Amino acid sequence: MQNNYVHGYTELETTRLNDQASTLSSILHHDSIFPEGSKVLEVGCGVGSQTEILCRKNPGIHLTSVDISAESLELARKRCDDSGLFNVEFKQADIFHLPYEKNSFDHIFICFVLEHLSDPQKALMELKTILKQGGTVTAIEGDHGSAFYFPRSKYAQMTIDCLVELQAKKGGDALIGRRLYPLFQKTGFSGTRVSPRFIYADTSLPEMVDGFTKKTFIAMVEGIREEAISHQLIDQETWEKGISELKETALETGTFCYTFFKALGYKL
């Protein structure tokens, strides 16, 4: 899975994950609150961008954050140590082989991970097994089909479609946001609610243009340039034109919209 991970483990991707988390923090996490004293598992914590937010918002929980990548975990651990956040422990683990007993956690949190898995349903079943009765699973995912922008551009759209196609080739689903509800239902969670988190950016909101349009979305698409061209999903000239037109959405004359989906389900 690690080699298949579409965004890779580069320094640029670490920066992008951090920019994404801090720009979207209030939109995605205003309700990421867990009861004091609860045992919470974060799966696929990466470099700790969401971990830091969870720890700060929930100083009274016992958080365990796992990831398949030892390098990312090291960065996450250092980040929390440097920030003086000590209510979290880190462990290397694969979501499909989690080293925990049945009914181990009160709550489970997973963000931007299911989209990269070839069998997200199986992953959710694994999470349900180690969740206590009455506990919740929270999943946050994007959906690249939700991106719309001005000026419209068929070339910009082709670059976004390359990311969707490349992720599908690697077994993932960049359009998973719209599937969260059915996935939760099939897993057997009760009381599932999905809330769309809408992102809108124009230059009257410079922090959204910079943090989301440029540093999260366009950076993510630009990150697959080499692979998209080498897999012959697009030729170089079309790619450059598409990225240049995608960047116009961040100018005074442009706008950008995107929707994230946050699902919450109970094990009853």
Contacting positions for ligand SAM (CB under 6 A): 1, 5, 7, 17, 21, 44-46, 49-50, 67-69, 72, 94-96, 111-113, 116
Residue 58 Cβ vs ligand SAM, minimum distance, rounded to whole Å: 16
CB closer to ligand SAM, 7 vs 179? 7
Q: For residue 112, is it left (φ>0), alpha (ψ between -120 and 50) or beta?
A: left
The stretches of the chain forming alpha helices (DSSP H) are 11-29, 49-57, 70-82, 120-130, 154-169, 180-187, 206-208, 219-222, 225-230, 236-247
CB closer to ligand SAM, 120 vs 254? 120
CB closer to ligand SAM, 97 vs 102? 97
Angle among Cα 121, 169, 175 to the nearest 5 degrees reads 55
Q: Which residue is nearest to ligand SAM (CB)?
A: 46
Residue closest to 143 by CA, chosen among 156, 160, 121, 118: 160
CB closer to ligand SAM, 199 vs 254? 199
Q: Determine the Cα–Cα distance for residues 222 and 20; give it in Å rounded to an integer.
A: 15
Residue 260 Cβ vs ligand SAM, minimum distance, rounded to whole Å: 11
CB closer to ligand SAM, 138 vs 192? 138
Residue 178 Cβ vs ligand SAM, minimum distance, rounded to whole Å: 18
| Beta-bridge partners for 138 | 109, 264
Residue 24 Cβ vs ligand SAM, minimum distance, rounded to whole Å: 9
- Chain CA centroid to CA 235, Å: 28
Question: What is the 8-class DSSP label of residue 234?
Answer: S
Residue 141 Cβ vs ligand SAM, minimum distance, rounded to whole Å: 10
CB closer to ligand SAM, 19 vs 202? 19
Residue 120 Cβ vs ligand SAM, minimum distance, rounded to whole Å: 10
- Preceding peptide of 151 cis, ω within 30°: yes
Residue type, 192: T
